[in-house]
Structure 1
């Protein structure tokens, strides 16, 4: 009978530029695989189910980052500082890039996103970090490139249409301050860009006063 080896849990980031072997195996690994369904209630006919597409799988597990090596539960002695490990995983999570999740001796070897990462340091165990990690399968999407000729033709046609199209956008000439307004909000409403609030302030200093944040409800502003 073949004896199955203990699995190793790996996280790899940025094409193996950073590789992390979990020092303590989770007691369990939860995998969720769902399918999209939509239930529709049709008058006089009852409820029907529309079968959608497969959903991406989700994995969740809990373990700890130990401060000190203990051969009774640690998988290897090459331990990182627990808090440095926390910073590393949070950096990966904020990067906007997928991480490769591998569990050896299983079919799990796939790109994932870090959906949630919670951790705590418990009393009586200083330096050890207990954590829960939730990962979701990531699918790489590629787009077919159009030829340069097609792209240039499309771009040229779009520019021509833009020149011929009349400008339908209108900017109001005045605005009356309402409760809860700020110059940034007003600029966002009239210019679609809150950073243009300075234009409105410069044109209405006498009405607003020296403090651009002190707006009086009912004041009529000129919109340049």
Structure 2
């Protein structure tokens, strides 16, 4: 049995295809230095797993299908919505005991002529879908330098004034966040927020990842 858990519930594929296509998995990472002594490791798309299947949604209840009967158009609409919103879903394949967080990379469907004695509403809906693994960025602290390379700062009035100064506020990026949305939420200018965190975000202000820490205030 193959299912996907999405934001509005769980969808079960009624017909398990004879063959399942699983490829990739040689994860490659890009590491970027951030602020506050942290590094960010992003998994590139070339190393992510992809899972493809081709089957059909029965137009009527069949003895060989899994779960209760659901209209093909309903299942088709669910996959199109998940793909359009680039929603992260949980794909589960019970036969192989495999679970994977992924997005719909590609999806297409078409309807053949209904068999004799059936109406157009009862025709099967053929489809092909490919899922791509989704991975959150890994955040790790930078290693501390050796004892010989670190020196204690000299005590002075300036240093004491800095220590008592107000610390900047931080915001942890959530799923589906954008820089504009965050700026409106924090009541700051998005460009000011971007310039403040340019080393963390990078050259593309639209490239945000869940778990990324932004500073403001």
Map of 1:83 onto structure 2: 73
Which of 19, 25, 34 is the matching residue for 1:28? Answer: 19
Structure 1 residues 1-224: aligned runs within 5 Å: 8-14=1-7, 17-33=8-24, 35=26, 55-71=47-63, 73-76=64-67, 78-125=68-115, 126=120, 127-141=123-137, 149-151=167-169
Structure with max Cα Rg = 1
Number of residues of Structure 1 aligned to a counterpart in Structure 2: 128
Whole-angstrom CA distance in 2 between matches of 1:101 and 1:56: 14
What is the Cα-based RMSD across aligned positions, in Å? 3.2
- Alpha-carbon deviation of 1:136? 0.4
Q: Which runs of 4+ in 1 moved over 6 A?
A: none
Under a length normalisation based on structure 1, what TM-score does the superposition of the two structures give?
0.50
Structure 1's unaligned 5+ residue stretches are 1-7, 38-51, 163-224
Whole-angstrom CA distance in 2 between matches of 1:57 and 1:95: 20
- Alpha-carbon deviation of 1:96? 2.6
Whole-angstrom CA distance in 1 between matches of 2:73 and 2:13: 14
Under a length normalisation based on structure 2, what TM-score does the superposition of the two structures give?
0.51
